[in-house]
Amino acid sequence: MVSRMPPDVREGWEAYAACRGADTSLFFAPNYFERREEKLAREAKAKAICARCPVREPCLEYALRIRDPHGIWGGLNELERRRLLRARELAG
Ligand code: SF4
């Protein structure tokens, strides 16, 4: 799954990603309308993979740093990452 990152931004941790070889469609919304229940079910499967991932923290920090607006990274979806960034900004 992590192969979606361009080579120039790879940092080494992705070699240990639990999502290597996983179905990318679990981690990203389809290009058609996805009902809420479908999104929750899809994300739950992706998050279950993230939950056992040894590089969850660097993955999440990477996504936060590049402000990736799509998909599950580090066990969080785009909205959850935005909330985390906002909370960090408020915390100073
Ligand atoms: S935390 Fe999730 S998205 Fe990130 S590398 Fe691990 S399995 Fe992949």
Per-residue pLDDT of the chain (92 residues; tens, 9 = 90+): 655 554 455 569 999 999 999 999 999 999 999 999 999 999 999 999 999 999 999 999 999 999 999 999 999 999 999 999 999 999 98
Point out the ligand 1 atom lying closest to the alpha carbon of residue 1.
8
> 36-58 burial string, b = 16+ CB within 10 Å, else e?
eeeeeebbeebbebbeebebbeb
Q: Report DSSP letters for 56-71, one per residue.
A: HHHHHHHHHHHT--SS
pTM recorded for the entire structure: 0.88
Protein residue closest via CA to atom 2 of ligand 1: 50
Ligand 1 centre and the CA of 49: distance in Å? Answer: 7
Give the number of other Cβ atoms within 10 Å of residue 26's Cβ.
19
Supply the residue whose CA is at minimum distance from atom 8 of ligand 1.
19
Which DSSP symbol is given to 41?
Answer: H
